[in-house]
């Protein structure tokens, strides 16, 4: 083959590779992260040739109320209250505590009185799509950018929890009244793994993320990240256990009392969910 032809073919090959890397979601720096300290593995090494990547919730679900309501529900899956002292308030016709602004989700917490054990009205949402790790969908990514209050009595969280039972639970991000981020995995009520990270300014934008991979018939590995930095891997028996995705601004409870006497906010943007599909 003539040298000029070989040069042209080489150039074409390089161009094809560049196009593939620019279009392949796993080559995106936001999704392809080296798993530091975990046997030198890269997430692309985990994905098999018989799997394809697909987006479940893209990063634009907070761009409009129609986009939001196609992907998310108001309040908790089980109602308006949980472990803390806030009652969640919101619907498609009531955006006082759950509202969108500039492609950002805003959850507002306001002190109230005369409501018994309820000391705040606040906001929480949950995704319509479930996370279920199984043979069909063996790898999942869940991530988002958040601004969180970290004063005593504020309890923001981004978490997964079991649909049919509790546990399973995976806390991608949780603050309990200070600037320590809790990343937890609950296998039973008494069997937890917890990774603690001090975040200098939780009220600034930070990215919190998990990569979950099926590693056996019963178990998954859950890799936790903050701002693209790998923090830990927790193993859990979560295969075939569907989980809700919840963005939650609860108050007091585990975050301490008394809570703030003024209005506070939790904000989210660029929340993304993806998975591999086996074929």
Q: What is the pTM of this model?
A: 0.86
224 and 246 fall within a common domain: yes
Give dist(CA 59, CA 95) in Å, integer. 21
174 is catalytic: yes
pLDDT tens digit string along 46-63?
888 899 999 999 999 999
- Farthest-apart Cα atoms in the chain, separation: 87
Query: Which residues on neighbouring strands pair with residue 124, listed in sequence order?
Result: 248
94 and 228 fall within a common domain: yes
22 and 46 fall within a common domain: no
11 and 122 fall within a common domain: no
Exactly one of 51, 69, 104, 169 is catalytic; name it: 169
Give dist(CA 137, CA 130) in Å, integer. 11
Identify the weakest region by mean pLDDT among 13-17, 165-169, 186-190, 212-216.
Answer: 13-17
85 and 188 fall within a common domain: yes
Give dist(CA 6, CA 9) in Å, integer. 5
> What is the count of structural domains for the chain?
2
What CATH number is given to the structural domain containing 124? 2.60.120.200
43 is catalytic: no
136 versus 43: the higher-pLDDT residue is 136
What sign for the dihedral angle of Cα 137, 77, 74, 108? Answer: negative
75 and 23 fall within a common domain: no
19 and 105 fall within a common domain: no
Nearest C-alpha neighbor of 219 from the set 230, 202, 233? 233
- The pLDDT value given to residue 29: 36
Exactly one of 71, 141, 174, 252 is catalytic; name it: 174
Give dist(CA 111, CA 49) in Å, integer. 53
127 and 235 fall within a common domain: yes
Structure tokens at 104: 């950002």
10 and 84 fall within a common domain: no
Mean pLDDT of 9-37: 43
Give dist(CA 17, CA 6) in Å, integer. 17
Mean pLDDT of 221-233: 97
7 and 56 fall within a common domain: no
Domain of residue 226, residue span: 37-278
Q: List Cβ neighbours of 124 (8 Å cut-off, separation of 6 or more).
A: 74, 75, 76, 82, 88, 98, 107, 246, 247, 248, 249, 250
Mean pLDDT of 133-139: 98
74 and 133 fall within a common domain: yes
CA distances for 89 relative to 69, 96, 97, 101, angstroms: 15, 8, 6, 18
pLDDT tens digit string along 231-268?
999 999 999 999 999 999 999 999 999 999 999 999 99
Mean pLDDT of 109-138: 98
65 and 183 fall within a common domain: yes
């Amino acid at each position: 083959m003539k040298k000029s032809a070989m040069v042209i073919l080489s150039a074409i090959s390089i161009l094809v590779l560049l196009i593939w890397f620019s279009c392949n979601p796993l080559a995106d720096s936001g999704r392809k992260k080296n798993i530091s300290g975990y046997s030198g593995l890269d997430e692309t090494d985990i994905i098999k040739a018989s799997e394809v990547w697909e987006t479940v919730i893209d990063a634009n679900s907070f761009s409009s109320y129609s986009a939001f309501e196609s992907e998310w529900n108001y309040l908790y899956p089980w109602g308006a209250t949980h472990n803390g002292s806030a009652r969640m308030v919101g619907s498609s016709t009531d955006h006082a505590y759950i509202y969108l602004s500039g492609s950002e989700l805003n959850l507002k917490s306001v002190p109230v009185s005369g409501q018994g054990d309820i000391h705040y009205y606040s906001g929480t949402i949950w995704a319509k799509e479930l996370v279920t790790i199984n043979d069909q969908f063996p790898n999942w990514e869940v991530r988002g950018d958040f601004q969180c209050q970290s004063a005593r009595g504020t309890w923001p969280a981004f978490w997964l929890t079991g649909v049919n039972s509790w546990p399973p639970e995976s806390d991608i991000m949780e603050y309990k009244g200070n600037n320590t981020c809790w990343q937890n995995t609950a296998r039973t009520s008494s069997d937890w793994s917890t990774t603690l990270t001090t975040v200098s300014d939780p009220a600034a934008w930070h990215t919190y993320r998990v990569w979950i991979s099926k590693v056996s018939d019963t178990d998954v590995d859950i890799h936790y990240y903050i701002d693209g930095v790998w923090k830990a891997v927790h193993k859990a028996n979560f295969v075939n256990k569907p989980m809700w995705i919840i963005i939650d601004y609860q108050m007091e409870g585990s975050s301490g009392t008394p809570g703030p006497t003024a209005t506070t906010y939790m904000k989210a943007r660029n929340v993304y969910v993806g998975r591999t599909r086996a074929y």
